[in-house]
Structure 1
Amino acid sequence: MSSSAAYNMYVFRSSRRDVPGPRLTAELAADLQAIAAPSSPGPSALRRLVLRALIRAGELESLLADAARPEPASLLARVADDLAALLVSGAPPATATGALRVSPESIAALDVPATVSTSPPEGFSFYALHPLDYARLADRLVSPQVPVRVVGVRSIGTTLSAVTAAALRRRGIRADRITVRPSGHPYDRRVELGARELRWVEDGLAEGAQFWIVDEGPGFSGSSFLSTADALVAAGVPPAQIVLLGSRTPDPDALVAPDAARRWRSFRSERAQDGAQPQVDAGEFIGGGAWRRHTFDDEARWPPSWTTMERLKYISRDGSRILKFEGMGRYGAECLDRAHGLSQAGFGPAPHDEGEGFFSYPRLPGRPLQAGDLSAAVLERLADYCAFRASAFQVRSPAVDELIAMSRNNFSTETGGELPDHVHPEITRPAIVDGKMDPHEWLRSASGELLKVDASGHGDDHFLPGPADIAWDLAGAMIEWRMDAAARSAFLERYRRRSGDRPEPRLPAYLAAYSLFRLGYAAMAAAALQDPGEARRLLAARDRYRAALLEDLGPAGTAGALG
């Protein structure tokens, strides 16, 4: 498969979900109340509060701007600016009380939609991007007496633009900001500036400002940055006055937006560095697949990894804990709740919130399992775990459109044919699934107990499936553990007894969908990585999922497409 075909695989999801708008404003108002209280918390607790409130304020500002509600969006922008100034200054608790221009009561009283569609800011939730990274970048780039116009690319760019502008103002630089929403195909986005934005650009040109575009990324295409920069150029801004501020340095020739290499090189680009760090002493870094050196004696047994997509992980200096970035803001809080639930039910290690989006887990003695360890006891534990998740992490039934679209797209990209009509996933038992039922994700402790590790975040991250039918995990367990017909039967019988659910009618579609996602994931990861050894592991996994797809669909289902 060519790299271009691999990049056409559908593996990322939209992550959008509907939440009550008044709940978001109430949460932010409560945070502001705590920050402004006369008996405000100590410095460390205050920093956590300000960071959480800033992420919430940026989320709400983005939502209201997207909903074309300029007045409440402007109010939220003032809140985000004040919180960003607090975070950047590291102000002591005594100064926090008078630092907010908007009262908590005003936020609580905002007229917001009853339901809003939102998604977690990926950098803060998955990639350990810290807002202060952009403050440090601004400090490095600042030119005395040169004003700056900051353009945040919604959604995460909203929060990042507030922090960038706050850092500039702290250095005495005149800074103003707006946000924009690129639209269109992910690889070829467009930005349309309205009359207000065009006047803002004209004012910036009149004062001789630089224009800084702020977002995380760029991703595979670079199109969000490029479309925003192109819109500024169309509005009269010389390319030499435009700077792209991102979280990584791309290879312009590898960006897949139209004419991306030439367009990207037309502008100056700078990268924010550092990233979130544990507030406790972190020892050896074991992210990026390095954890496998501590887990497997033989490199030949290493499972494949899309190493650049792994969460940050460390071993504590005393060797007793694993420190892992699980997410800041509301997303991290939800992951922590799930981790506590898994621990209390006896399925996972106990988490501890270390701040800045990091949790720690005890470093347990034991060894990871492999497919050859499958036994009656293991089958029962897997079934019990799936039944527990189906009950404990229920959600409102999500849309299934993305799973169907992914299945069709990946089948077509892989085979050139059309997916059989019967591969049509349905949702009966919606839950936050585990998403990683691989044998090496299970640890047999010294006492013989089977524990699931890395179980709180994958089911609701930026990859498919997101919240789905528990049949996704059932299918994943069958495929990853390479269960034969007898093992599958015993596994499902145990699950039925524990859950009261009869998943058999749903499973054929989920077995196909799971294999199609995993083969697409492995193909895209292999194309994205520069490590030949990792690419070989990933391509071998892709072939295995392809074989599983062929076996589960059968000759009639594939109609020779995979032959």
Structure 2
Amino acid sequence: MTTDSSGYSMYVFRSGRRNVPGQRLVAELADDLRALDAPAGVERRPGVVLRALVRAGELESILTDAGAGSAPLLAELTDDLAVLLVGGDGAGARAIPDGPTSDHGRSDVWPRTARRPTTSQALAALAAIDVPATVPTSPPEGFSFYALHPLDFARLAARLASPPAPVRVVGIRSIGTTLSAVTAAALRRLGIRAGRITVRPAGHPYDRRVELGARELAWVQDGIAEGAQFWVADEGPGFSGSSFLSTGDALVGAGVPRGNIVFLGSRAPDPDALVAPDGARRWRSFRAERAECGTQLPGDAGEFIGGGAWRRRLYEEESRWPPSWTSMERLKYLSRDGSRILKFEGMGRYGAECLERAHGVFRARFGPEPRDEGQGFLSYPWLPGRPLQAGDLSDAVLERLADYCAFRASAFPVPTLATDEIVTMARNNFSLEMGNELPGELQLEIARPVLVDGKMDPHEWLGSASGELFKVDASGHGDDHFLPGPTDIAWDLAGAIIEWRMAPGARRAFLERYRRRSGDDPERRLPAYLLAYALLRLGYAAMAAASLQDDGEARRLSAARHRYRAALIDGLGAAASSGALG
């Protein structure tokens, strides 16, 4: 089956960047450090070492980008937590363990005693750091969405280790900060001398550059003098490969023999598909190794039901399957006894936020009760029932949809938001799909800024034998790497209207129920969101269809694309007459 190549140019991913209070990040990390020091006889919460490590790496990366003087202290803490993770899950540890000093190309910041710092010392040092009032941050995608576990890189390091050659590890910020710490810790555990630094590629995403400062250059020169290998650690490579390539080029420019450079990533790309300038030739000039991801699973994980496989258990006929971008689905497993579904929801701060939201949905009686399974996985009861279809729309379903939207509008508010990225997406996708420019500037009003659900599709609702309706996948989609991200609740209202194919009467009843429940009248701002929703989902279906090799899946996605195109055309007139296209 041939696919429309325009799908590759659709705009569906978002930057995910947001400003958060700096002291909040410090306080969350401090809470995890205290949990590490649990009293004897108290069982440590699953994944606390992992969560603390991910948070420490995130904060180290933020402070390093800001040029903060406290960044080296955070680097030491990240290293200590990496040692703890690589040495075991920390279940019996009461303090950050002894370990060899890592070489960051800078002065030591911890007192050099016979032991590494205790948890109390780490907490005291953490309390003294100077962190900005607000800091920009975005989820580390591999840890948040793709089930990349730091120990995947520890195993890769063990496989590649060749004592006694020393190794200099270069982490690419942001996620490469944590990965470099774990890689170096794994090497030192094998008796190999290893140190690390981190770098931040800058410039156009397809043509990034790395500039090594004086201290980084001195660190590289020291490594060359001792005959070290240089390992570059990051997730990916992505669409261009330019972060890896720019780091490799910078090392070569500093005098490192090309044969001494190894890229450590989470996937093996097709070099000919990389869009960085001269990407194929440059990539092939370096050695690249891939970590095996998705191998660090909870002990109760049984049958794999990710990648769209869950549909075989819920639908008798394949013709009724909803479309899925199968390669982008989160990892999912059934428990060994079949009573629960285990889903990867994210590590570190991102996963903790997903768990908190899932508990909120459960307490409001809209979804099943979550359980933290560790390793970034949450589990939910496997509910008896069937996924709904648009034809199941009824008065009771309309009320449930409206009540759920009103709940999210009050339960998950966020600060006032900008709409620039959604508007850019709408212009881009409209132009690609329709062959001309969007007739006006899309005016997206933010009246109820919330962390939306983002997936109001009928199959995301399960109907039980008793008639109850439950929302599934309610914690992660609103804040993942796809647009829209946090936005006005009108996004979910528009999604429900389009996905359930509501006739005018059903739409009026749905919106009236929402108004009564929320006190919010969305009618004026809704036409713009109907247009934006259709354009995003159209682009998503087009890009997914272009990227998959499965003809059956591509046909389902192409059919969805045509349905969203029809919704787009239907909504253009209403958007123009309402002033949504200024």
Query: Match of 1:80?
Result: 78
Question: What letter matches 1:77 in structure 2?
Answer: A
> Shift in Å at residue 279 of structure 1?
2.3
Query: Match of 2:224?
Result: 205
Q: 3-state SS of the aligned residue for 2:565?
A: helix
User: Which residue of 387, 395, 403 maps to 1:384?
Assistant: 403
| Residues 1:30 and 2:49 are matched in the alignment | no
> Shift in Å at residue 188 of structure 1?
2.3
Query: Match of 1:268?
Result: 287
Q: 3-state SS of the aligned residue for 2:334?
A: strand
State whether residues 328 and 356 of structure 1, in contact with CA within 8 Å, keep that contact through their aligned partners in structure 2: yes
1:297-316 alpha-carbon deviations (Å, 9 max, x no partner): 11111111111111111111
| Residues 1:11 and 2:18 are matched in the alignment | no
Query: Match of 1:123?
Result: 142
Deviates more, 1:411-420 or 1:504-513: 411-420
1:372-416 alpha-carbon deviations (Å, 9 max, x no partner): 111111111111110110011111122211111111121122223
State whether residues 166 and 193 of structure 2, in contact with CA within 8 Å, keep that contact through their aligned partners in structure 1: yes
> Shift in Å at residue 2 of structure 1?
6.9
Q: 3-state SS of the aligned residue for 2:163?
A: coil
| Residues 1:20 and 2:28 are matched in the alignment | no
1:163 and 1:177 map into 2 onto residues whose CA distance is 10
Question: What letter matches 1:259 in structure 2?
Answer: D
| Residues 1:57 and 2:51 are matched in the alignment | no
> Shift in Å at residue 152 of structure 1?
0.6
| Residues 1:89 and 2:87 are matched in the alignment | yes
State whether residues 36 and 98 of structure 1, in contact with CA within 8 Å, keep that contact through their aligned partners in structure 2: no
1:532 and 1:468 map into 2 onto residues whose CA distance is 34
CA gap 1:92/1:464 in 2 versus in 1, 3 angstroms: closer
2:41 and 2:179 map into 1 onto residues whose CA distance is 25
State whether residues 241 and 274 of structure 2, in contact with CA within 8 Å, keep that contact through their aligned partners in structure 1: yes
1:541 and 1:6 map into 2 onto residues whose CA distance is 13
> Shift in Å at residue 422 of structure 1?
4.9
Question: What letter matches 2:79 in structure 1?
Answer: D
Query: Match of 1:319?
Result: 338
1:101-146 alpha-carbon deviations (Å, 9 max, x no partner): 3521111111110111111111111111110000000000011111
> Shift in Å at residue 480 of structure 1?
0.6
Query: Match of 1:224?
Result: 243
CA gap 1:256/1:526 in 2 versus in 1, 3 angstroms: farther
Question: What letter matches 1:33 in structure 2?
Answer: R
> Shift in Å at residue 258 of structure 1?
2.3
Question: What letter matches 1:512 in structure 2?
Answer: L
Question: What letter matches 1:73 in structure 2?
Answer: A
Write out aligned runs for 1:340-489 (5 A): 340-489=359-508
Q: 3-state SS of the aligned residue for 2:571?
A: helix
CA gap 1:94/1:361 in 2 versus in 1, 3 angstroms: closer
Q: 3-state SS of the aligned residue for 1:185?
A: coil
CA gap 1:47/1:86 in 2 versus in 1, 3 angstroms: farther
Question: What letter matches 1:303 in structure 2?
Answer: P
State whether residues 63 and 70 of structure 2, in contact with CA within 8 Å, keep that contact through their aligned partners in structure 1: yes
**TM-score between both structures, scaled by the size of structure 1:** 0.95
> Shift in Å at residue 339 of structure 1?
0.9
Query: Match of 2:558?
Result: 539
Question: What letter matches 1:369 in structure 2?
Answer: L
State whether residues 37 and 93 of structure 2, in contact with CA within 8 Å, keep that contact through their aligned partners in structure 1: no
Query: Match of 1:561?
Result: none
> Shift in Å at residue 551 of structure 1?
0.9
2:209 and 2:438 map into 1 onto residues whose CA distance is 32
Query: Match of 1:328?
Result: 347
Deviates more, 1:484-493 or 1:469-478: 484-493
State whether residues 10 and 410 of structure 1, in contact with CA within 8 Å, keep that contact through their aligned partners in structure 2: yes
2:225 and 2:179 map into 1 onto residues whose CA distance is 25
1:66 and 1:343 map into 2 onto residues whose CA distance is 38
Deviates more, 1:145-154 or 1:27-36: 27-36
CA gap 1:322/1:556 in 2 versus in 1, 3 angstroms: closer
**TM-score between both structures, scaled by the size of structure 2:** 0.92
1:108 and 1:286 map into 2 onto residues whose CA distance is 44
User: Which residue of 509, 526, 551 maps to 2:545?
Assistant: 526
1:258 and 1:40 map into 2 onto residues whose CA distance is 58
> Shift in Å at residue 174 of structure 1?
1.1
Q: 3-state SS of the aligned residue for 1:50?
A: helix
State whether residues 40 and 93 of structure 1, in contact with CA within 8 Å, keep that contact through their aligned partners in structure 2: no
Q: CA RMSD in A?
A: 1.9
> Shift in Å at residue 3 of structure 1?
6.2
> Shift in Å at residue 276 of structure 1?
5.1
CA gap 1:40/1:3 in 2 versus in 1, 3 angstroms: farther
Query: Match of 1:113?
Result: 132
1:10 and 1:277 map into 2 onto residues whose CA distance is 32
Q: 3-state SS of the aligned residue for 1:85?
A: helix
**Residue segments in structure 1 that go unaligned for 5+ positions in a row:** 559-563
CA gap 1:4/1:202 in 2 versus in 1, 3 angstroms: farther
Query: Match of 2:110?
Result: none
**Residue segments in structure 2 that go unaligned for 5+ positions in a row:** 99-115, 578-582
1:47 and 1:471 map into 2 onto residues whose CA distance is 37
2:33 and 2:347 map into 1 onto residues whose CA distance is 17
> Shift in Å at residue 46 of structure 1?
6.7
1:107 and 1:434 map into 2 onto residues whose CA distance is 35
2:245 and 2:94 map into 1 onto residues whose CA distance is 40
Q: 3-state SS of the aligned residue for 1:542?
A: helix
Question: What letter matches 2:257 in structure 1?
Answer: P
> Shift in Å at residue 358 of structure 1?
1.0
CA gap 1:277/1:148 in 2 versus in 1, 3 angstroms: closer
State whether residues 83 and 97 of structure 2, in contact with CA within 8 Å, keep that contact through their aligned partners in structure 1: no
1:210-233 alpha-carbon deviations (Å, 9 max, x no partner): 111111111222221122112222
CA gap 1:37/1:336 in 2 versus in 1, 3 angstroms: closer
Question: What letter matches 1:548 in structure 2?
Answer: A
1:230 and 1:129 map into 2 onto residues whose CA distance is 26
> Shift in Å at residue 518 of structure 1?
0.7
2:186 and 2:41 map into 1 onto residues whose CA distance is 24
State whether residues 423 and 508 of structure 1, in contact with CA within 8 Å, keep that contact through their aligned partners in structure 2: no
Query: Match of 2:112?
Result: none
| Residues 1:179 and 2:179 are matched in the alignment | no
State whether residues 276 and 356 of structure 1, in contact with CA within 8 Å, keep that contact through their aligned partners in structure 2: no
State whether residues 168 and 174 of structure 1, in contact with CA within 8 Å, keep that contact through their aligned partners in structure 2: yes
Q: 3-state SS of the aligned residue for 2:438?
A: coil
> Shift in Å at residue 41 of structure 1?
4.9
> Shift in Å at residue 485 of structure 1?
1.5
> Shift in Å at residue 36 of structure 1?
4.2
CA gap 1:211/1:445 in 2 versus in 1, 3 angstroms: same
Question: What letter matches 2:58 in structure 1?
Answer: E
Q: 3-state SS of the aligned residue for 1:189?
A: coil
State whether residues 11 and 463 of structure 1, in contact with CA within 8 Å, keep that contact through their aligned partners in structure 2: yes
State whether residues 316 and 323 of structure 1, in contact with CA within 8 Å, keep that contact through their aligned partners in structure 2: yes
User: Which residue of 217, 231, 239 maps to 2:258?
Assistant: 239
Question: What is the number of residues matched between the two proteins?
Answer: 555
> Shift in Å at residue 98 of structure 1?
4.8
Deviates more, 1:267-276 or 1:333-342: 267-276
Q: 3-state SS of the aligned residue for 2:527?
A: helix
1:289 and 1:312 map into 2 onto residues whose CA distance is 10
Query: Match of 1:496?
Result: 515
